[in-house]
Amino acid sequence: MITGFITFFTIFAVVGAILYGRRLVKTEKSDAVFGNPERAKGGIHWVVVGSSFLLLSWLYYSWDIAKSFYPKSANELCQVAKVNESLLSLKYLFPIVERQHKSTAIIKRENTNIENKIILIKNDSNLKSQDKEIFIDILSSTKLMIPSLTDERYLEDETQNIINQLTARLNKLTENFPKDTYPKLNEEEKYEINEGLKKQLGWGATGMEVPPIPESTRGLKFHAAAAELNSISDEFFEMRNHNPEYLRKSELIFSEIKEYMDGLDDGLELDYIKDIKKLVRRIEYASIFPPKTLDELERAIRSFDKVQKKEQGNLKTIDIFLFPAGTIVASGPQCSEAGPGRWLPKPSDTFRIFGEMLKPSVGYKMIPMLWYEMMGVNRIVGFILPDWIADIMPGKYPVHNQSGTVDPNFKSKILDIVTGEFEAFKIPVPTGHIWDSFLRVFLGLMLGIILGVPLGLFMGLNRFAKGFFDPLVELYRPVPPLAWAPLVITVFGIDNVGKVFLLFMVSFSIMIISARAGASGTQLSKIHAAHSLGASRWQIIREVIFPNSLPEILTGIRVAVGMCWGTLVAAEFLAGTTGIGFVENVARKYMQYEVIWITIFVMGMLGLIFDLTIRKIIDKTIPWRGKG
Amino acid sequence: MKKTISLFLGSLFAFILSATVAYSAANEVRVAFFLEWATPNQEAKVKKVFDDALGVPVKWTNFATGGEMTEAMLSGDIDISYSQGLTPFVNAVNAKAPIKLVDIAVTYGMGNTTCIVSNASGITKANAAQLEGKKVAVPVGTMADYVFKETMKVVGADAGKVSVVDMNPEDGSAALQNGDVAMACLFGGKSIENALKAGTRMLSVKEATDAGISGIDITSVTNKFLKENPGMVQTFVEITHEYNAKFRAGKSNMNIIAKDAAMDLAGTKKQMGGFGFPDAATIKSKYMNKGGILMKYLDVMGNMFATAENPALRNYSKVVTTKYLP
> B223 and B314, same structural domain?
yes
Q: What is the tally of structural domains in chain B? A: 2
Nearest to B163 among A274, A577, A585 (CB): A577
> B179 and B125, same structural domain?
yes
Residue that wins the pLDDT comparison between A364 and A628: A364
Asked if residue A481 has a cis previous peptide bond (ω within 30° of 0), the answer is no
Question: Is B102:B222 a contact under the CB 8 Å cutoff?
Answer: no
Weakest-pLDDT range from A3-12, A35-44, A219-228, A325-334: A35-44
Q: What angle do CA A257, A263, A268 make, to 5 degrees?
A: 70
User: Is A575 in contact with B49 (Cβ distance < 8 A)?
Assistant: no
Which of residues B172, B193, B210 is at a domain's end? B210
> A192 and A47, same structural domain?
no
Weakest-pLDDT range from B24-38, B41-55, B76-90, B217-231: B24-38
User: Is B15 in contact with A325 (Cβ distance < 8 A)?
Assistant: yes
User: Is B67 in contact with A589 (Cβ distance < 8 A)?
Assistant: yes
Among chain A residues, the shortest Cα distance to B53 is held by A278
Strands (E), A370-460: 371-376, 426-431
Distance between CA atoms of residues A581 and A349, nearest Å? 21
> B156 and B144, same structural domain?
yes
Mutation for A interface: B7, B96, B220, most A CBs within 10 A: B96
Question: Is B187:B206 a contact under the CB 8 Å cutoff?
Answer: no
User: Is B97 in contact with A275 (Cβ distance < 8 A)?
Assistant: no
Mutation for B interface: A114, A366, A590, most B CBs within 10 A: A590
User: Is A594 in contact with B309 (Cβ distance < 8 A)?
Assistant: yes
**pLDDT, tens digit, 9 for 90 and up, residues B73-85:** 988 889 999 999 9
pTM of this prediction exceeds 0.95: no
Report whether pLDDT(B36) > 50: yes
**pLDDT, tens digit, 9 for 90 and up, residues A515-566:** 999 998 888 999 999 999 999 999 999 989 998 899 899 999 999 988 888 8
Residue A361 belongs to a domain: no
pLDDT confidence of residue B17: 47
- Strands B29-34, B58-63: pairing is parallel
User: Is B309 in contact with A353 (Cβ distance < 8 A)?
Assistant: yes
Average pLDDT, chain A: 87
- Average pLDDT of the segment spanning B277-305: 89
Question: Is B173:B162 a contact under the CB 8 Å cutoff?
Answer: no
Chain centre to alpha carbon of residue A223: 32
User: Is B164 in contact with A282 (Cβ distance < 8 A)?
Assistant: no
User: Which residues from chain A sit within 8 angstroms of residue B164, using beta carbons?
Assistant: 365, 577
> A585 and A444, same structural domain?
yes
Q: Per residue, what are the HEC states of B158-174? A: CHHHCEEEECCHHHHHH
pLDDT confidence of residue B6: 52
Q: What angle do CA B258, B262, B264 make, to 5 degrees?
A: 50
pLDDT confidence of residue A300: 93
> B126 and B153, same structural domain?
yes
> B227 and B310, same structural domain?
yes
Q: How many CB pairs under 8 A join A and B?
A: 142
Residue B16 belongs to a domain: no
> A330 and A292, same structural domain?
yes
Which strands form B183-187's sheet, in the order they lie side by side?
Answer: B163-166, B135-138, B183-187, B113-118, B199-201
Please check whether residue B256 touches A, CB under 8 A.
no
Q: How far is B206 from chain A (nearest CA, A)?
A: 30
- Average pLDDT of the segment spanning A300-322: 91
SS3 B80: strand
CATH number at residue B39: 3.40.190.10
pLDDT confidence of residue A127: 84
CATH number at residue A473: 1.10.3720.10
Percent of chain B clearing pLDDT 70 (strictly above): 92
User: Is A590 in contact with B223 (Cβ distance < 8 A)?
Assistant: no
Q: How far is A414 from chain B (nearest CA, A)?
A: 29
User: DSSP alpha helices (H): ranges in A124-242?
Assistant: 129-150, 157-176, 187-199, 217-238
pLDDT confidence of residue A396: 82
pLDDT confidence of residue B10: 53
Neighbours of A620 (CB within 10 A): 8
> B218 and B309, same structural domain?
yes
pLDDT confidence of residue B218: 93
SS3 A200: coil
Residue A370 belongs to a domain: no
Which of residues B177, B210, B243 is at a domain's end? B210
Nearest to A110 among B18, B55, B234 (CB): B55
Neighbours of B58 (CB within 10 A): 21
Report whether pLDDT(A225) > 90: yes
User: Is A576 in contact with B175 (Cβ distance < 8 A)?
Assistant: no
User: Which ipTM value was assigned to this complex?
Assistant: 0.72
pLDDT band per the 50, 70, 90 thresholds, residue A81: very high
> B89 and B38, same structural domain?
yes
User: Is A589 in contact with B49 (Cβ distance < 8 A)?
Assistant: no
pLDDT confidence of residue A626: 67
- Average pLDDT of the segment spanning A365-377: 84
- As a residue count, chain B comes to 326
Q: How far is A614 from chain B (nearest CA, A)?
A: 31
- Average pLDDT of the segment spanning A71-77: 91
Q: What angle do CA B130, B132, B138 make, to 5 degrees?
A: 115
**Count of alpha carbons within 13 Å of A61, Cβ hemisphere only?**
16
> B123 and B104, same structural domain?
no
Q: What is the tally of structural domains in chain A? A: 4
Residue A349 belongs to a domain: no
Q: How far is A468 from chain B (nearest CA, A)?
A: 34
Please check whether residue B234 touches A, CB under 8 A.
yes
- Average pLDDT of the segment spanning B12-40: 68
Mutation for B interface: A201, A494, A584, A594, most B CBs within 10 A: A494
User: Is A209 in contact with B175 (Cβ distance < 8 A)?
Assistant: no
- Residue A383 — φ and ψ, nearest 5°? -75, -40
User: Which residues from chain A sit within 8 angstroms of residue B305, using beta carbons?
Assistant: 590
pLDDT band per the 50, 70, 90 thresholds, residue B20: very low
User: Is B180 in contact with A494 (Cβ distance < 8 A)?
Assistant: yes
**pLDDT, tens digit, 9 for 90 and up, residues A447-499:** 999 999 999 999 988 899 999 999 988 888 888 888 888 788 778 877 788 88
The two most distant CA atoms of chain A are separated, in Å, by 114
User: Which residues from chain A sit within 8 angstroms of residue B304, using beta carbons?
Assistant: none
Question: Is A393:A379 a contact under the CB 8 Å cutoff?
Answer: no
**pLDDT, tens digit, 9 for 90 and up, residues B136-153:** 999 888 889 989 988 998
Nearest to B91 among A336, A489, A591 (CB): A591
Neighbours of B2 (CB within 10 A): 6
> B240 and B102, same structural domain?
yes
Distance between CA atoms of residues A510 and B256, nearest Å? 49
Q: What angle do CA A316, A321, A326 make, to 5 degrees?
A: 85
- Average pLDDT of the segment spanning A280-299: 86
Residue range of the domain that includes A617? 433-621
> B232 and B162, same structural domain?
no
Helix axes A217-238, A157-176, angle to 10 degrees: 180
Q: How far is A205 from chain B (nearest CA, A)?
A: 8
User: Is B307 in contact with A574 (Cβ distance < 8 A)?
Assistant: no
Report whether pLDDT(A425) > 80: yes
The two most distant CA atoms of chain B are separated, in Å, by 74
Nearest to B235 among A282, A326, A495 (CB): A282
Among chain A residues, the shortest Cα distance to B308 is held by A207
